[in-house]
């Protein structure tokens, strides 16, 4: 019996197998869950986080604080400076306050003998700004050319820019040679006592005198160029400083304060950090923004008081209309980085205008160019009419020549026939154009729908070419048939 007995299988083996299966399943589930959580996790981006625009707290002068906490992108070296495609701007609205631009325009107008007949003298490679509108003279001149039936050529290859750069480089090379010759003449004149012919010394003196005018203008040119580069360098350093401040403030404020609160709004906005050595802008409470090491309050902290609640700070009504920082109680003016950048950009623009004028002067002195092409701009005001604008222009021109025109010289005679001045005015209408700066198109009349919307453009070269042949004593003999004008022969 014992030989046929079979042993009962142990129960431990199935239990161990089941446990092994359970452990394997558990490990598999754990691995699967871990992998799923990693794949569902958002990928971190190196791009700057999007910052929601925040409302500027009340009490801060409008314009002192931009509305976003981070710039749209990294600033390039030329972000705040001109490029080859951005001409210098002559801003009509800045004439009263901008002394640099005012002096520049006075010199330009003086060279043509004008004071009030035109508001601006603008060159073809510049732009003019009236109100909020900026338009390049090239655009205006192209439309005038089209109206006159001219063929307008546009450079699509950049060759014009390359040619202008090459001409400028050649001019600088010739100026360097002129400067070298000037110093050579100094030595020759110093040793001229030993010369047998005294006339040679006189020749040297005359040559040096002519070169002296060129060298003086050249020094002004290089000094102006140096100042432009200095201001551009300062502008780039301010951009970098502003970027650093924005990055620091964004890191400190992210996730620790509620969007829209006074503290987070001030901490995240740009342009509020005072310039080193200059007091912070009025309207920004001490410690509210730009203070290193400041930590924003937690969400359960006591809500800080409103910015405008401080009785020592100006209200929005007291803030200046153009957004400039107000002086404090001691009379000192506060300047923010944003304001300083605007001032530097304006100065660079004026220096570029001046540099262009000096370059034209150098070309004339070196007999490499005739009088530069320029255009008079008159900004049309309420109740102006084109006839009076033309007459004021003409009268000022003859006043400068010492040949004053009577106030009624543009009126017809008792028989109703046009005077000589009247005939010139009628003919000059074909040389003067009205441009609607808002609609960016030529206009047929100066009727104003919006203030500061139209300008009258005088081609100074063509007008002067006509007027230089006019003898004020023979004006009554001028003939005009509606298309052509005949002037009496000289002599």
Instruction: Return per-residue pLDDT of the chain as tens, 491 residues.
Output: 444 444 455 555 566 666 667 767 667 666 565 555 444 444 343 434 333 333 333 333 333 333 333 333 333 334 444 444 589 999 999 999 999 999 999 999 988 888 888 999 999 999 999 999 999 999 999 998 887 655 555 555 666 677 778 877 888 888 889 889 988 988 888 887 767 677 888 888 899 999 999 999 999 999 999 999 999 999 998 888 777 776 676 666 555 444 443 333 333 334 444 454 444 444 444 444 443 344 444 444 444 444 343 343 333 333 333 344 445 445 555 678 888 899 999 999 999 999 999 988 888 888 766 677 899 999 998 888 888 888 888 888 888 877 777 777 777 777 777 777 777 777 777 778 899 999 999 988 878 878 889 999 998 888 777 777 777 666 766 777 666 777 766 65
Residue 443's Cβ-count burial label (10 Å; 0-12, 13-18, 19+) is middle
Q: Provide the angle, in degrees to the nearest 10, between the axes of the packed helices 159-190 and 198-253.
A: 130
- Assign 377 to helix, strand or coil: strand
Q: Which residues pair with 379 in a beta bridge?
A: 455
Sign of the Cα pseudo-torsion (164, 166, 172, 178, in order): negative
The answer to whether 410 and 419 are in contact (CB under 8 A) is: yes
- Residue 273 has a CB neighbour count (10 Å cut-off) of 24
The answer to whether 308 and 315 are in contact (CB under 8 A) is: yes
The reported pLDDT for the residue numbered 460 is 85
The reported pLDDT for the residue numbered 455 is 94
The reported pLDDT for the residue numbered 107 is 93
Tell me which residue of 86, 77, 349 sits closest to 239, measured CA to CA: 77
The single-letter DSSP state of residue 438 is T
The reported pLDDT for the residue numbered 367 is 76
The reported pLDDT for the residue numbered 128 is 96
The reported pLDDT for the residue numbered 278 is 45
The answer to whether 372 and 137 are in contact (CB under 8 A) is: no
The reported pLDDT for the residue numbered 491 is 53
The answer to whether 450 and 438 are in contact (CB under 8 A) is: yes
The reported pLDDT for the residue numbered 345 is 93
The reported pLDDT for the residue numbered 155 is 56
Q: How far apart are CA 418 and CA 303, in angstroms?
A: 79
The answer to whether 70 and 51 are in contact (CB under 8 A) is: yes
- Residue 347 has a CB neighbour count (10 Å cut-off) of 17
∠ CA 173-179-180, nearest 5°, is: 90
Q: Which two tokens stand for residue 237?
A: 């350093």
The reported pLDDT for the residue numbered 315 is 39
The answer to whether 466 and 431 are in contact (CB under 8 A) is: yes
Q: Strand pairing of 89-91 and 127-130?
A: parallel
The reported pLDDT for the residue numbered 479 is 74
């Amino acid at each position: 019996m014992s030989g046929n007995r079979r042993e009962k299988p142990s129960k431990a083996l199935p239990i161990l197998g089941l446990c092994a299966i359970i452990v394997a399943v558990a490990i598999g589930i754990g691995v699967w869950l871990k992998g799923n959580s990693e794949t569902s996790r958002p990928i971190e981006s190196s791009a700057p986080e999007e910052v929601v625009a925040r409302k500027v707290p009340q009490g801060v002068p409008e314009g002192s604080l931009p509305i976003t906490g981070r710039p749209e992108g990294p600033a390039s070296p030329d972000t705040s400076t001109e490029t080859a495609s951005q001409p210098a701007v002559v801003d009509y609205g800045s004439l009263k306050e901008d002394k640099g631009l005012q002096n520049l325009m006075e010199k330009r107008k003086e060279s043509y003998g004008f004071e009030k007949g035109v508001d601006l003298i603008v060159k073809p490679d510049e732009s003019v700004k009236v109100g909020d509108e900026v338009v390049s003279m090239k655009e205006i001149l192209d439309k005038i050319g089209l109206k006159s039936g001219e063929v307008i050529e546009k450079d699509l290859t950049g060759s014009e820019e390359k040619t202008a750069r090459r001409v400028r480089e050649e001019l600088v090379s010739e100026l360097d040679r002129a400067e070298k010759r000037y110093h050579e003449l100094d030595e020759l004149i110093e040793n001229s006592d030993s010369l047998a012919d005294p006339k040679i010394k006189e020749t040297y003196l005359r040559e040096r005198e002519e070169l002296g005018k060129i060298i003086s203008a050249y020094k002004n040119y290089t000094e102006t160029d140096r100042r432009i580069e200095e201001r551009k360098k300062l502008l780039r350093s301010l951009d970098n400083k502003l970027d650093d401040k924005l990055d620091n403030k964004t890191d400190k404020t992210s996730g620790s304060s509620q969007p829209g609160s006074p503290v987070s709004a001030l901490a995240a906005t740009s342009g509020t950090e005072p310039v080193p050595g200059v007091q912070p802008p009025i309207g920004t409470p001490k410690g509210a923004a730009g203070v290193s090491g400041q930590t924003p309050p937690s969400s359960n902290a006591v809500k800080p008081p409103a910015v405008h609640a401080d009785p020592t700070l100006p209200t929005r009504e007291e803030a200046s209309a153009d957004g400039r920082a107000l002086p404090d109680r001691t009379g000192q003016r506060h300047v923010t980085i944003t304001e300083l950048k605007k001032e530097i950009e304006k100065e660079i623009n004026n220096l570029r205008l001046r540099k262009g004028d000096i370059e034209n002067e150098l070309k004339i002195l070196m007999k490499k160019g005739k009088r530069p092409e320029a255009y008079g701009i008159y900004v049309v005001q309420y109740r102006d009419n084109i006839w009076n604008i033309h007459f004021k222009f003409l009268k000022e021109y003859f006043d400068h020549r010492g040949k004053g025109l009577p106030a009624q010289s543009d009126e017809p005679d008792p028989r109703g026939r046009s005077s000589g001045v009247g005939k010139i005015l009628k003919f000059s209408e074909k040389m003067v154009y009205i441009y609607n700066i808002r609609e960016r198109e030529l206009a047929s009349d100066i009727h104003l729908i919006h203030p500061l919307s139209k300008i009258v453009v005088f081609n100074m070269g063509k007008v002067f070419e006509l007027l230089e042949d006019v003898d004020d004593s023979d004006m009554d003999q001028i003939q005009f048939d509606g298309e052509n004008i005949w002037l009496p022969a000289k002599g």
